[in-house]
Amino acid sequence: MLAGLDAAVGLASSLPLDVNLAKIQNICYDLLQTVYPESQKKDAAKDQKASTWAEHFRALAEKLSLYVGE
């Protein structure tokens, strides 16, 4: 689901229209504050599912101009 959202945001950003992504950005920010830190802990433990989720999340956050850090 996150990969699909990432693709949709990428597509919306490439359109010659003014697309308001504020709601998605706010949801992504909430995930950054709540879910992402736990995913990072699991990623460090070599949990493949958490690693894949974190990778897709970082790509989405970058498209939404959110700083994730390392």
The per-residue pLDDT for range 2-42, each reduced to its tens digit, is: 888 889 998 988 888 888 889 999 999 999 999 988 888 87
Is the pTM above the cut of 0.85?
Answer: no
Number of independent structural domains in the chain: 1
The sign of the CA dihedral 59, 36, 48, 7 is: negative
Domain assignment present for residue 68? The answer is: no
Domain span holding position 27: 2-63
Domain assignment present for residue 19? The answer is: yes
Domain assignment present for residue 69? The answer is: no
